[in-house]
Structure 1
Amino acid sequence: MRMRQLTPDIEVSEIGFGNWTVTTGWWGDYSRQEAVALHRAAFDAGVTFFDTASVYRDGYGEEVLAEALGEVREQIVIGTKFGYDLDVDTGSRGQQERPHRTDVVSVAAALDDSLRRFGTDVIDVWQLHNPRMAHLVDDELFAFLQQVKEEGKVRATAIALGPRIGWRDEGLHAMHTRDLDVVHMIHNMLEQDPGRDLVAAARETDTGLIVRVPHSSGLLEGHLHADTVFPANDHRRHRPRSWLLEGVQKVERLRFLERSDRTLGQAALRWVLDHDVAATALPNIYNVDQLQEFVGASDAAELTDEEHRMVAELYADGFGVVPEADQETRLRDVS
Structure 2
Amino acid sequence: METRSLGAVGSVSEVGLGTWNIGSDWGPVSDDAGRKAIEAALDSGITFLDTADVYGDGRSEKRIAEVLTKRDAYDDVIVATKAGRRLSPHTAAEYTEGNLRSFINRSRKNLDVETLDLLQLHCPPTDVYYDPTVFDALETFTADGLINNYGVSVERVEEGLKAIEYDGVESIQIIFNPFRQRPNELLFDRAAANDVGIIVRVPLASGLLTGALSKDSTFPADDHRNYNRDGDAFDVGETFAGVPFETGVEAAAQLEEGVPAEWSLATFTLRWILDHDAVSTVIPGSTNSDHIRSNANVSTLRSLTDTEHTAASNVYDEHIRSHVHHRW
TM value normalised by structure 1: 0.84
Q: Deviations over 1:116-149 (max 9, x none)?
A: 2211122111101112232122222211212332
Quick one: distance in 2 between partners of 1:289 and 1:201? 36
- The aligned length equals 308
Secondary structure (helix, strand or coil) at the match of 1:80 reads: strand
Aligned residue number for residue 15 of structure 1: 15
TM-superposed deviation, 1:228: 1.6
Greater Rg over alpha carbons, structure: 1
For 2:90 and 2:143, locate their aligned partners in 1 and report how far apart those are by CA, in whole Å: 30
- Does the 8 Å contact 2:255/2:312 carry over to 1? yes
Moved more, 250-259 or 269-278: 250-259
Q: Which residue of 1 aligns with 2:237?
A: none
| Partner residue in 2 for 1:313 | 314
For residues 81-140 of structure 1, give each alpha carbon's deviation from its aligned partner in whole angstroms, at most 9, with x where no partner exists. Answer: 012336x5xxxxxxxx85563211221222222112211122111101112232122222
How far is the alpha carbon of 1:14 from its aligned partner?
Answer: 1.2
Correspondence for 1:5:
5
> Do residues 41 (structure 1) and 40 (structure 2) align?
yes
Mapping for residues 161-180 of structure 1, pairs under 5 Å: 161-162=154-155, 167-180=156-169
> How big is the shift at 1:8?
4.0
**Does the 8 Å CA contact 2:33/2:287 hold for their aligned counterparts?**
no
One-letter amino acid matched to 1:222: G
Q: How far apart, in 1, do the equivalents of 2:297 and 2:280 lie? A: 16
Secondary structure in 1 matching 2:137? helix
What residue number does 1:326 align with? none
Report which structure shows greater RCO (CA 8 Å, sep ≥6): 2
Separation of aligned partners in 2, 1:304 and 1:151:
48
In the TM superposition, what are the counterparts of 1:75-94 in structure 2 within 5 Å?
A: 75-85=76-86, 88=88
Q: Give the aligned partner of residue 201 of structure 1.
A: 190
C-alpha contact (below 8 Å) 2:16/2:49 kept by paired residues: yes
Letter aligned with residue 263 of structure 2: R
* Aligned counterpart in structure 1 of residue 135 of structure 2, from 138, 142, 148: 142
In 2, the alpha carbon distance for the partners of 1:40 and 1:314 equals 36
In the alignment, is the contact (CA less than 8 A) between 1:103 and 1:141 conserved in 2?
yes
Give the unaligned 5+ runs of structure 1: 89-96, 324-335
1:181 to 170, 183, 187: 170
Query: What are the within-5 Å matches in structure 2 for residues 267-282 of structure 1?
Result: 267-282=268-283
2:152 aligned with 1:159, yes or no? yes
Residue aligned with 1:296, SS: helix
Deviation at 1:170, TM superposition (A): 1.6
Give, as a single letter, the amino acid of the residue that structure 2 aligns with 1:21: N
User: Which residue is equivalent to 1:232?
Assistant: 221
Residues 322 and 99 (structure 1), Cα distance of their counterparts in 2 relative to 1, 3 Å cut: closer
Q: TM (normalized to structure 2)?
A: 0.86
Name the structure 2 match of 1:55. Answer: 54
Unmatched runs of 5 consecutive residues or more in structure 2 = 231-239, 324-328
Paired residue type of 2:48: F
Contact 2:22/2:287, CA 8 A, preserved across alignment: yes
Give 3-state SS (helix, strand or coil) of 1:154's partner: coil
- Cα offset, 1:243, TM superposition: 2.3
Cα distance in 2 for partners of 1:131, 1:13 equals: 27
Alignment partners' CA distance in 2, 1:158 and 1:132 = 15
Q: Is residue 257–residue 264 contact of structure 1 (8 Å, CA) maintained in 2?
A: no
Aligned partners of 1:136, 1:289: CA distance in 2, in Å? 39
Matches within 5 A, 1:285-300: 285-300=286-301
Encode CA deviations 1:213-263: one digit per residue, 9 max, x unaligned.
111111111111122222333221232698222111111221244224422
Q: Distance in 2 between matches of 1:168 and 1:258?
A: 28
Q: For residues 138-194 of structure 1, give each alpha carbon's deviation from its aligned partner in whole angstroms, at most 9, with x where no partner exists.
A: 2222112123323443222100113xxxx2322211113453110001011012235
Partner of 1:120: 113
Task: Output the aligned Cα RMSD.
Answer: 2.3
1:9 Cα offset (Å): 4.9
Is the partner of 2:133 in helix, strand or coil? helix
- The amino acid that maps onto 1:6 is L
